[in-house]
């Protein structure tokens, strides 16, 4: 086999590669479990400005939370808890069996533990001087 050049992807090339893996995965999992849906939520103030949000997806039998953010001026007012409660409700409605997410030591590991998430793994020094936590909550 000859050596080929490695180059950085364009957005279109990245989408092509992602779609090929999704296509392959779909062929491995029973059709009744084959699903993918983005679930993105937000909370707005009275002027319509987003003050908190959650970006995630329903994939197969779980929901994955990629981002949960609350504007610093609105932290400690329960908005993060409201978003987490809503994504858990949606996950149950979609008959998911668990939720998974990750966070850093400078973000919110204590918040997720308080909400019943179990620590599955920790990577030390990622980024340097901090920890990267992986959590799961069975539903």
Tell me the per-residue pLDDT of 64-82, one tens digit each, with 9 for 90 and over. 999 999 999 999 999 999 9
Q: What mean pLDDT is reported for the chain?
A: 95
pLDDT band at 31 (very low <50, low <70, confident <90, very high): confident
Instruction: Look up the pTM and report it.
Output: 0.86
Rounded Cα distance between 106 and 19, Å, is 34
């Amino acid at each position: 086999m000859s050596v080929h050049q490695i180059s950085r992807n364009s957005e279109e090339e990245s989408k092509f590669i992602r779609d090929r893996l999704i296509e392959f995965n779909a062929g491995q999992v029973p059709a009744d479990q084959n699903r993918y849906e983005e679930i993105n939520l937000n909370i707005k103030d009275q002027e319509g400005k987003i003050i908190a949000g959650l970006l995630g997806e329903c994939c197969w039998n779980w929901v994955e939370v990629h981002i949960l953010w609350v504007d610093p001026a609105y932290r400690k007012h329960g908005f993060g808890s409201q978003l987490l409660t809503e994504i858990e409700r949606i996950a149950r409605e979609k008959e998911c069996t668990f939720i998974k997410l990750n966070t850093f030591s400078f973000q919110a590991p204590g918040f997720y533990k308080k909400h019943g998430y179990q620590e599955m793994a920790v990577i030390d020094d990622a980024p340097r001087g901090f920890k990267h936590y992986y959590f799961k909550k069975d539903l």
